Amino acid sequence: MDELLRIDKWLWAARFYKTRNIATNAVDGGRVHVNSQRVKPSYRVKIDDVLLITRPDFKQEIVVCGIAKQRRSASEAQKLYRESEDSVAQRELTAAQRKILNQGLPRTFKKPNKHERQKIRTMLGKSK
């Protein structure tokens, strides 16, 4: 019998999300699809399932190659899945575009103080 594991726990163990709660919210929010179907966090993922993980900048298409119930090192987590070549190419293109866009921007090394935060809030149209 194949091992089955909740998708939110698998996404956490495979290091796609930092916490299991964030993984659960991503699945609930429709940002994770299995075999082109929207699923619930309790869905039992199995080997050879195709996952589509939607990020703000790009989409990752991966195939499940292994099941791990515990979160391990990043090198071990990478053995749990295989990313499609189209997905890798899109992710690299997005990273290159982001790098070009950020070249001309000045870097800030300090947090805004109280008065700067108030100015930011007023610019955004938010009250205290």
DSSP state of 80: G
> Does the pTM exceed 0.95?
no
Lowest-pLDDT choice from 40-54, 97-111, 114-128? 97-111
Lowest-pLDDT choice from 16-20, 50-54, 113-117? 113-117
CATH of the domain at 49: 3.10.290.10
Tell me what pLDDT residue 54 has: 94
Mean pLDDT value across the chain: 90
Angle 78-83-87 (CA atoms, 0-180°, nearest 5)?
135
> Residue 17: beta bridge partners?
none
pLDDT tens digit string along 14-40? Answer: 999 999 999 999 999 999 999 999 999
Is residue 127 a part of any domain in this protein?
Answer: no
Residue range 84-102: average pLDDT?
A: 89
Is residue 122 a part of any domain in this protein?
Answer: no
Residue 112 has pLDDT above 90, yes or no: no
Tell me what pLDDT residue 1 has: 39
DSSP state of 47: T
Residue that has been written with the tokens 């993980």 in this structure: 53
Is residue 72 a part of any domain in this protein?
Answer: yes
Residue range 66-80: average pLDDT?
A: 93
Is residue 121 a part of any domain in this protein?
Answer: no
The contacts of residue 35 (CB under 8 Å, 6+ apart) are: 49, 50
- Give the amino acid at 118: Q
DSSP state of 22: H
Q: Could you list the residue range(s) of the whole structural domain that residue 26 is in?
A: 5-106
Q: Give the number of domains in the chain.
A: 1
